[in-house]
């Protein structure tokens, strides 16, 4: 599997994020930093997340995707769009309840403006721990199944955080 990377583009308040390869928690500081700056923008009209070249995605990255939806709905009353042509990825999204907080399309997007790779931010162990915990708490809020799936992990992460 190809190491993950995130490409982004912004044009007149329309943001496109493209996840390529195996997107893991090693990119959580990078992704969260971009999300924070995107959601602080004065102009945000649409968000499209392209997962057509995503080979794998972990629960931390999924939690940060869910955070995009939460922030976009609260601040801009927007429902982001996810494009996924990989049935395995789509099945994961649906099992996590993403169909309730995103529009999920199965057709590739054409005419995408120039995408630039986000520079990877190397987060400290404490920062990564906090992002992993936050992402899983967001996933737990999406539905009862997620709550049950991630309860032990969150409990463990919260305990580890108290010792740092």
Q: Domain coordinates of the chain in residue numbers?
A: 5-122
Entry pTM: 0.83
The more confidently predicted of residues 109 and 134 is 134
Please report, for residues 62, 88, 100, 130, the alpha-carbon distance to residue 28 in angstroms, rounded to integers and kept in the order given.
10, 22, 23, 10
Give the length of the chain.
164
Homologous superfamily (CATH) for 5-122: STAS domain (3.30.750.24)
Beta-carbon count within 10 A of 49 CB: 21
Query: Which candidate, 27, 36, 24, places its Cα nearest to that of 15?
Result: 36
Helix, strand, coil percentages, rounded to 5, for the chain: 50, 25, 25
Residue-wise pLDDT for 20-66, tens only, equals 999 987 888 888 888 888 888 888 899 999 999 999 999 999 999 99
Per-chain mean pLDDT for the chain: 87
CA pair distance 27, 76, nearest whole angstrom: 25
Identify each DSSP E strand in 58-108 by its residue range: 81-83, 103-105
Task: Provide the 3-class DSSP secondary structure of residue 11.
Answer: strand
**Per-residue pLDDT at 28:** 82
Q: What is the rounded average pLDDT of the residues 80-95?
A: 94
**Per-residue pLDDT at 35:** 87
**Per-residue pLDDT at 113:** 64
């Amino acid at each position: 599997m190809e190491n993950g990377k995130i490409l982004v583009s912004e044009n007149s308040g329309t943001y496109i994020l493209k996840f390529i390869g195996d997107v893991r928690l090693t990119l959580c500081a990078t992704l969260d930093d971009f999300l924070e700056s995107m959601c602080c923008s004065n102009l945000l009209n649409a968000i499209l997340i392209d997962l057509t070249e995503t080979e794998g995605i972990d629960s931390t990255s999924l939690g940060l995707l869910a955070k995009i939806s939460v922030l976009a709905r609260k601040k801009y009353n927007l429902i982001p769009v996810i494009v996924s042509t990989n049935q395995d990825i789509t099945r994961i999204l649906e099992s996590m309840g993403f169909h309730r907080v995103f529009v999920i399309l199965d057709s590739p997007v054409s005419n995408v403006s120039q995408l630039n790779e986000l520079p990877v931010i190397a987060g400290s162990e404490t920062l990564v721990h906090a992002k992993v915990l936050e992402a899983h708490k967001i996933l737990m809020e999406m539905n009862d199944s997620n709550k049950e799936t991630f309860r032990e992990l969150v409990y463990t992460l919260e305990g580890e955080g108290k010792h740092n």
